Amino acid sequence: MSDHLYKAETSKSTVEFAGDLSKVVKKYGFVIHNENSMDMAHSFGQHGAEVADEFDLHMMQICKPEKAAMSLQANPERAILMPKHVMTFSKDNKTQVRFFYFSADNIRAMVDDEVFPLSLAETYEKIISMVDEAIAL
């Protein structure tokens, strides 16, 4: 089993999709941790970098605070795999959605932990289902 790339597209704008995803994740106890800085054109601009007007990459960090707090207290080594980002950008007049996630074997290779690979796999599945739900709204 290898690592995976979830790919989808929607006719929604990146901003509209991000708003819909925010609503969906909240319904399930998750948050978009970086909601104020996920628009990369704005974020780069705050640091003095210029980007093209049509640049619309959003990097949304999905988190379930209660689960993450318990998980990291149990084993801080898990932190390397905790940031989970859903990326969106425009291509061919559609919003592209991407989410990269790891196989259980690779999780085990990165973190010496018996419980974490299965727990993280469940979270990956939930993120994908929430993205699908946001696309369907």
Q: What is the mean pLDDT of the segment spanning 21-44?
A: 90
Task: Please give the tally of structural domains in the chain.
Answer: 1
Report the chain's mean pLDDT, rounded to a whole number: 91
Closest by alpha carbon to 83, among 36, 130, 44, 33? Answer: 33
Q: What is the mean pLDDT of the segment spanning 30-58?
A: 88
Cα distances (Å, whole numbers) of residue 83 to 59, 60, 123: 11, 10, 12
Cβ-Cβ contacts under 8 Å for 51 (sequence gap 6 or more): 40, 41, 44, 45
pLDDT band at 82; cut points 50, 70, 90: confident
Pairing of β 84-91 and β 94-101: antiparallel
The yes-or-no verdict on residue 133 having pLDDT over 90 is: yes
- Which residue range(s) make up the domain with 12? 4-136
- Here the CATH number for the domain that contains residue 132 is 3.30.310.70
**The whole model's pTM is what?**
0.89
Give pLDDT, residue 2.
Answer: 58
The yes-or-no verdict on residue 1 having pLDDT over 70 is: no
